[in-house]
């Protein structure tokens, strides 16, 4: 939701804040049983309302799920520095949660993204499939709601009806984000995807003419994987805050393309032939590009370039501003894996998948004796491992491991058909692809097939558990973060219950309740159903505040493994979320995972 935007006159600041709730009223000595309680209040409390009455302090308030547990009812605010005055915008429809706001070209209105939150909120983090729209709120005709002049005194720089007209600029039923106004104020650019279905998908780059409000498509979604040198579609989570060229006719953004992330000016690559695997645009101002580039063996370096005139982008020359040295002893390569074509399902089923192999300093081509570790997509299944700098992977390489990161069919960057091919095949296609990538890596490279381990998170951990059950004696150690192990149990505990249906190819609706057959299908696809086959020592790392995958998933698995005599250890981080982020938490997770592997694989 976050935004912080100066008006063009630089006298007002637009930002988003969480709407205040009444504070619980302490019990009073004169409260008596049988007293009449006030009438039922609306779902959302008004800003500045008095203390909530006794009996209502425990009313449940929804939030937006994982990583957004303190976000429930966002409001748009304007700070006028000339007054000074602070205003809370009204006129936003009650069924919308506003955010990502910016000023209209004349400063007489506000453009914002509005997310539908009726009948209830679904998790928003890492989900580009939630219904939302681009709206324009006209401020020119009057006051923007409740205002305070002189830092708290009543007053308002505008005098009129607070219920102002709101105009929808995007499609009626779409999922949108990142509105960006061109420097000349004539065009509005934003990303658009479909509502429902995969939680991450191939997006469209939409452009609206501000004068006519006529919509258009700058870049359509890519359905099928194109030839390796061609554009494979847009998969970025957000547009850079400043992405327009000075001519107001071109934009620059970064997006995954197979196993790399590259800079593109729609359909034209701006980082061609680079040895770096990941490019990220920081800003574009007055045609000066500021970006970072990194690779598995190279921490991010700061680079700049001047954007040439239209049609001459291939002459772009990057100049390093702050270079970082490469990490000695770490090398990497991209592997193309060709899965067998079964003749069923979408055309993408037989398309190649990608993998990244990181090799450590202890790897000697002439001998066997290194470890290989399939690293599965965290936070997926629709995610991607691009060839970027990952400190934990470089550290594992320096410990002597080889690390394999698998982009199975369903990962981002390979076309929408590849993403869709995984629906109804979760627990089958993704597991088979990962297993095939391991086998081909062992066949192509001089790696030790007798010392293999699994390191994965979220849906990647789901795949890893399936692999442990399929081949109980193949892997000598396994470390999992926030694992998915019991699909039907997530229906009532996850902030994205819709994914449990979509992953099996079933339609979802807000009032949906699973039937017995659907619950049985979910359980059969769950690793917990095959937990009796697991023999490999398993380390489990979970955050107690995980809203995406309940930590009780790992607790249930831990108890089953311990009961069967399988070596298992559970790390429970009280303040951790799904990503187990934070310096102290990340360091402890890495230390324990590395020690677990060294313990069970041998030095």
Out of 117, 382, 466, 578, which one is annotated catalytic? 578
How far apart are the C-alpha atoms of 114 and 19, rounded to whole Å?
15
458 assigned to active site:
yes
**Token reading at 540:** 């489990």
Residue 410 burial by Cβ neighbours in a 10 Å radius (0-12, 13-18, 19+): buried
What's the rounded Cα separation, in Å, for the pair 48 and 344? 60
352 and 336 Cβ atoms separated by less than 8 Å: yes
Map tokens 């005599």 to a residue.
565
The pair of three-digit structure tokens given for residue 66, joined into one six-digit string: 């994982």
Does the annotation count 546 as an active-site position?
A: yes
Concerning whether 578 is annotated as a catalytic residue, the answer is yes
Sign of CA dihedral 570, 575, 580, 584: negative
Other beta carbons within 10 angstroms of residue 453's beta carbon come to 25
The sign one gets for the Cα dihedral 210, 285, 388, 267 is positive
Nearest one of 297, 279, 306, 412 to 357, comparing CA atoms? 297
Instruction: Kindly give the pairing relationship between strand 319-322 and strand 298-306.
Output: antiparallel
Q: Which of 386, 495, 498, 546 is catalytic?
A: 546
Backbone phi, then psi, for 219, in 5-degree steps?
A: -135, 115
Catalytic member of 458, 485, 526, 550: 458
Q: How far is CA 487 from the centre of its chain?
A: 20
Radius of gyration of the chain (CA): 26
Q: What is the DSSP string of 503-525?
A: TTT----TT----HHHHHHHHHT
- As a whole number of angstroms, the distance between CA 428 and CA 411 comes to 14
* Percent of residues in the chain assigned helix, strand, coil, to nearest 5: 15, 30, 55
The answer to whether 346 and 416 have CB atoms below 8 angstroms apart is: no
Q: Which of 270, 281, 235, 240 is nearest to 255 (CA)?
A: 235
Question: Which residues are designated catalytic?
Answer: 458, 546, 578
């Amino acid at each position: 939701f976050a935004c912080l935007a100066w008006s063009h006159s630089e006298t007002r600041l637009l930002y988003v804040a969480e709407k205040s709730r009444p504070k619980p009223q302490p019990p009073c000595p004169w409260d008596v049983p049988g007293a009449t309680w006030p009438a039922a209040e609306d779902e959302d409390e008004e800003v500045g309302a008095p203390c909530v009455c006794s009996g209502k302090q425990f009313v449940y308030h929804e939030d937006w799920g994982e990583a957004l547990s303190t976000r429930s009812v966002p409001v748009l605010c304007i700070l006028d520095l000339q007054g000074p005055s602070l205003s809370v915008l009204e006129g936003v429809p009650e069924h919308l949660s506003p955010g990502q706001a910016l000023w209209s070209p004349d400063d007489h209105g506000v453009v914002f993204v509005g997310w539908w939150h009726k009948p209830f909120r679904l998790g928003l983090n890492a989900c580009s499939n939630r219904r939302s729209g681009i709206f324009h709120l006209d401020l020119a005709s009057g006051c923007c709601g409740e205002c305070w002049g002189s830092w708290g005194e009543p007053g308002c720089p505008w005098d009129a009806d607070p219920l102002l007209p709101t105009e929808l600029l995007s499609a009626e039923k779409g999922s949108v984000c990142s509105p960006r106004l061109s420097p000349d104020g004539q065009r509005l650019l934003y990303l658009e995807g479909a509502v429902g279905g995969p939680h991450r998908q191939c997006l469209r780059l939409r452009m609206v003419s501000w004068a006519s409000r006529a919509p258009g498509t700058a870049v359509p979604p890519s359905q099928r994987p194109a030839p390796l040198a061609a554009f494979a579609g847009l998969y970025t989570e957000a547009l850079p805050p400043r992405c327009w060229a000075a001519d107001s006719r071109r934009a620059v953004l970064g997006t995954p393309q197979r196993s790399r992330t590259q800079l593109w000016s729609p359909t034209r690559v701006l980082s061609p032939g680079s040895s770096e695997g990941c490019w990220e645009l920081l800003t574009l101002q007055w045609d000066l590009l500021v970006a970072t580039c990194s690779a598995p063996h190279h921490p991010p370096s700061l680079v700049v370039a001047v954007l040439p005139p239209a049609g001459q982008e291939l002459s772009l020359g990057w100049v390093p501003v702050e270079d970082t040295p490469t990490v000695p002893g770490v090398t990497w390569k991209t592997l193309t894996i060709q899965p067998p074509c079964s003749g069923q399902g979408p055309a993408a089923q037989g398309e190649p998948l990608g993998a990244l192999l990181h090799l450590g300093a202890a790897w000697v081509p002439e001998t066997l004796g290194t470890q290989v570790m399939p690293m599965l997509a965290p936070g997926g299944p629709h995610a991607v491992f691009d060839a970027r700098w990952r400190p934990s992977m470089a550290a594992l390489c320096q410990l002597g491991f080889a690390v394999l990161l698998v982009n199975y069919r369903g990962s981002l960057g390979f076309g929408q058909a590849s993403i869709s091919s995984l629906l109804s095949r979760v627990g089958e296609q993704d597991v088979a692809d990962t297993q095939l990538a391991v086998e081909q890596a062992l066949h192509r490279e001089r790696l030790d097939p007798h010392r293999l381990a699994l390191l994965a998170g979220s849906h990647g951990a789901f795949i890893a558990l399936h692999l442990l059950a399929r081949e109980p004696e193949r892997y000598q150690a396994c470390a999992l973060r926030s694992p998915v192990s019991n699909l039907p149990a997530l229906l009532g505990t996850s902030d994205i219950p819709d994914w449990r249906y979509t992953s099996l190819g079933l339609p979802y609706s807000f009032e949906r309740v699973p039937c017995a057959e659907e619950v049985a299908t979910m359980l059969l696809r769950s690793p917990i159903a095959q937990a009796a086959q697991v023999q490999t020592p398993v380390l489990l790392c979970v955050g107690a505040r995980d809203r995406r995958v309940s930590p009780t998933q790992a607790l249930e698995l831990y108890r089953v493994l311990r009961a069967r005599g399988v070596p298992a250890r559970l790390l429970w981080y009280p303040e951790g979320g799904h990503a187990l982020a934070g310096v102290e938490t990340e360091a402890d997770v890495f230390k324990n995972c590395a020690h677990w592997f060294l313990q069970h694989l041998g030095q």
